A and B are shown apart, each in its own frame.
Chain A
């Protein structure tokens, strides 16, 4: 069950899901891949998603440094059945989003920054902590 603190995070993520057509799941995790909170259906393995997102962002960060392109603002992967997008949240966390094949990428780009800032504000205020049962 989500705590009150998690509920605030979940509210931010749910708002993003409702604002952007095609977004199915949203999660926030630490940069080392530990799940903090998620607005997701039961069919998603959230621990795996958090680890995958951290690895994806880490790879993108290394790649950006290798080709002298700085740090990633967003990583988007297109699959046959949808999208996975990862954005950094501050310097210690990340937001990962799953979308179906019709996900509105322009809408996501327009709304994701506000969501990231909202999550960052909550995390910076130390209102939430990583799940201890991971």
Chain B
């Protein structure tokens, strides 16, 4: 059965905050109705929530590395083993990489939380819930409760918004502002080695095989310390006499620096409202620390 989420008037699902509210409402239904199926979030980067009997088994998003990506990027599974498994995580490959069931489940839970953060930190355009049997391959004993997922996404969004120099995990592409060798911390140095002005935090996370949230917080810390910087927004060029019209101006919208608003601290403090804030309680006190990077 398809339950396309529509507005009360029957119009298509609205964009932005309203769509985020639809996601919130849909996830609230999951445990209450013990739903199985998929919850597809269209947006930037968007993602798919795999549901089974009221729990979220996995969140797959282009914005956050999967378990396979982490294992491949960190070298725990070789390209040959990946190919031998026909592009999947074959049990033999996992055994050779010393990835037991417990480790795999822990990684899957971490990736699920990271995927939910990626969806929540991005733009949400549409939400569609399709009830039915979830795809095979998810262990029903290791799902994540939607409330836990929402709470963790909320905590991470809040931590990111409250960092000294908030950064968009997807749109901002930092530049090196100092020598990489000056950084004594190995994990941070590895991040710095991937910073080139073209890569976002998300791109660096995929390259290193680390979580999106952990990587984003590392870059936010490097920004605060002045080790990296964000490029200045491009200025508008005055029109040239006789210049050909820009055929792409209308067809290809370009992201303007700061369009998301996430990088303007004065705006962030006033208006940054994570999609899940309405539902989850936020601790009043205590430091908020990024999670440990996966080994």
Contact = CB atoms under 8 A, between A and B. Distances in A.
Interface string B34-64: 0000000000111000000000000001111
Contact of B251 (A102, A107, A117): A117
B248 A15 contact: yes
Contacts of B253: 15, 19
A118 interface: yes
Interface string A8-22: 100110111011011
B66 A101 contact: yes
A21 B255 contact: no
Nearest to A39: B198
A118 B247 contact: yes
B206 A100 contact: yes
A21 B248 contact: no
A115 B46 contact: no
Task: Give chain B's interface residue range (CB within 8 Å of chain A).
Answer: 20 to 34
Contact of B254 (A15, A24, A100, A102): A15
A80 B66 contact: no
Contacts of A14: 254
B251 A21 contact: no
A18 B234 CA distance: 15
Given A11-B248, A100-B207, A104-B46, A21 B170 contact: yes
A48 to B, nearest CB: 19
A115 B207 CA distance: 26
B251 A118 contact: yes
Interface string A70-110: 00000000101100000000000000000011111001000
**Which secondary structure characterizes the binding site on chain B?**
loop
Contacts, number: 79
B94 to A, nearest CB: 15
Q: Taking each of B44, B82, B206, which has the highest tally of chain A beta carbons within 10 Å of its own beta carbon?
A: B206
Contacts of B246: 8
Nearest to A119: B248
Contacts of A8: 246, 248
Interface residues of A, number: 29
Interface in B55-94: 61-66, 68-69, 72-73, 79, 82-83, 87
Nearest to B68: A101
B252 A102 contact: no
Contact of B62 (A18, A78, A81, A104): A104
27 contacts: A11-B248, A14-B254, A15-B252, A16-B252, A18-B254, A21-B202, A22-B203, A22-B206, A24-B198, A41-B198, A78-B87, A80-B82, A100-B206, A101-B65, A101-B68, A101-B69, A101-B206, A102-B61, A102-B63, A102-B64, A102-B202, A104-B45, A107-B45, A114-B251, A114-B252, A115-B252, A125-B244
Given A101-B72, A101-B206, 11 more contacts: A11-B248, A14-B254, A15-B248, A19-B253, A101-B66, A101-B69, A102-B63, A102-B206, A104-B46, A104-B62, A114-B252
